[in-house]
Each structure stands twice: as structure tokens, then as C-alpha cells.
Amino acid sequence: MRTPFSAEEFFAVFVAYNTAVWPLQLGLVALALGAVVLALGGSERAGRAVCAILAFLWIWMGVAYHWLFFSDINPAARLFAGIFVVEGGMLGWLAIRATSLRFQPAFDAYGLAGGLLITYALVLYPLLGAVLGHRYPAQPTFGLPCPTTIFTMGLLLWARPTVPWAVLVVPVLWSVVGTTAVTLFGVIEDAMLPVAGVVGGALVVLRNRRRSGPSAL
């Protein structure tokens, strides 16, 4: 698969973004950790807050990364920006609608898979990137699409009662699009992305069906 930009241009976008927004990356990580703590509570109010945090992260990625930076080298980035903002809007709706999602990990396959993805996104992703030679600022930090998509899928595996299928579409699609960074640019830490999107998405759908019956998605 060919891209309209080189590897040098691809990593230069990370440098430009990370330099421009520093130290906001730390705040994004703090928000993510806050979402995890809230998810452990399992209340509806906490669930609304988790959805609001996820909504902010997806809108941030759409505007602050795709629209303002990635669009400099990729014409498709403005389309990505719109799609990411739509995803943020859907998550925001979940935060304010009458019956919101709740988040609470259980000691089962869904809870364990979610915990693994969250840990990978926040801890193992940057560590693996550093080991492989992707050093700051020329590396994807949390708040950029790939690690944040993995994190989102991890939290959705903790959600109950059921996750609307529409919320899964953008993370699953990005898990396919973003995987090109593995094969073309050597961002090996993104290899967990298709696992998060495809396998994680399938697990969420399976859990939905088990909780709501065969007709649910």
C-alpha cells in the first residue's frame, strides 16, 4: 500500500505535534488514568464521566492531530478528522443520554482483555516504542490515534449493559487503517491495534449478544 508521504514526513508530524502541544500530553494521560479509576467504581455517574473523557479524546484527535497536523502531509486527514469528531459526538451522547453506559471490569475474558488493552496503551506502548528506537518527540504519544484507539477498546470491553454498535465502527476501521504504520514505517508498537479493533470489537459484539439476545449487535 502506497502513501502520499514518506517515513520522514510521517515522524516529522509527531515531532511537530508533540512540540506544539507539550505538556498537554501529560494531561491526556491523567484523563485516561482518571477514566480507569472512574470505571472501577461502576456507577452510572462514573460511566457518564468515562464517556465524556473518551468523547474529549476522540474530538481532540480529530481536531488537534488530524486537522491541524496530519493534514499537512495527508489529504485524507481532514476526512479522518471529521470521522473522529463524529465518534467523539457519539461518545458524548452516551454521556448525557437518559440511560448511560456503566463501566466495571469483571474477572472474565472481557474484563481481562480490556485490562490488557488499557495497560498496553498507557504503559507498554510507549515503553515498546522507546525500546524500538522511537524516542520522544518523534513518537506517537497518548492522545494520538493508535494508542488511544487501543485504550478506548479496552474501556469498551468493561462497559455494560451493551455498547451501541455504531460506537464500535470508527475504532474498528481505524484499527485497520492505522496498521499500515506497522508495515510501512516500522511502528511495531501499533501491532496491537488490529487485535484491539478486530478481536476486541468481536468480543464486545459477542458480549452484547449474550446480554441482549441473538438479535442484538
Q: Please list the alpha-helical segments (H only) found in the chain.
A: 7-21, 24-41, 44-60, 77-96, 109-119, 125-131, 145-156, 165-177, 180-185, 192-194, 200-212
Question: What is the distance between the alpha carbons of residues 124 and 192, in angstroms, rounded to a whole number?
Answer: 10
Mean pLDDT of the residues in the chain: 93
As a whole number, mean pLDDT of residues 145-169 equals 95
Give the alpha-carbon dihedral of 8, 17, 64, 166, to 10 degrees: 50
Cell digits of residue 72: 499537512
Question: What is the distance between the alpha carbons of residues 178 and 187, in angstroms, rounded to a whole number?
Answer: 10
Question: What is the distance between the alpha carbons of residues 14 and 7, in angstroms, rounded to a whole number?
Answer: 11
Per-residue confidence band for 212, with pLDDT thresholds at 50, 70 and 90? confident
Give the alpha-carbon dihedral of 27, 33, 35, 38, to 10 degrees: -130
Domain enclosing residue 202, as ranges: 7-212
Q: Evaluate whether residue 217 is within a structural domain.
A: no
Number of domains within the chain: 1
Per-residue confidence band for 214, with pLDDT thresholds at 50, 70 and 90? very low
Q: Evaluate whether residue 1 is within a structural domain.
A: no
Q: Evaluate whether residue 38 is within a structural domain.
A: yes
Q: Evaluate whether residue 139 is within a structural domain.
A: yes
What pLDDT does residue 1 have?
57
Q: Evaluate whether residue 2 is within a structural domain.
A: no
Cell digits of residue 108: 472474565
175 burial level (CB within 10 Å; 0-12, 13-18, 19+): buried
Per-residue confidence band for 210, with pLDDT thresholds at 50, 70 and 90? confident
102 bridge partner residues:
160
Cell digits of residue 38: 472512574
Task: Say whether pLDDT at 31 is over 90.
Answer: yes
Q: Evaluate whether residue 83 is within a structural domain.
A: yes
Q: Where is average pLDDT lowest: 27-36, 40-49, 148-157? A: 40-49
Cell digits of residue 60: 481532540
If you write DSSP's letter for every residue of 98-137 in order, what string do you get?
SS--EE---SSHHHHHHHHHHHIIIIIHHHHHHHTT--TT
Query: Measured between alpha carbons, how far is residue 13 from residues 19, 45, 60, 70, 189 in Å?
Result: 10, 37, 16, 6, 18
* 192 vs 97, residue with greater confidence: 192
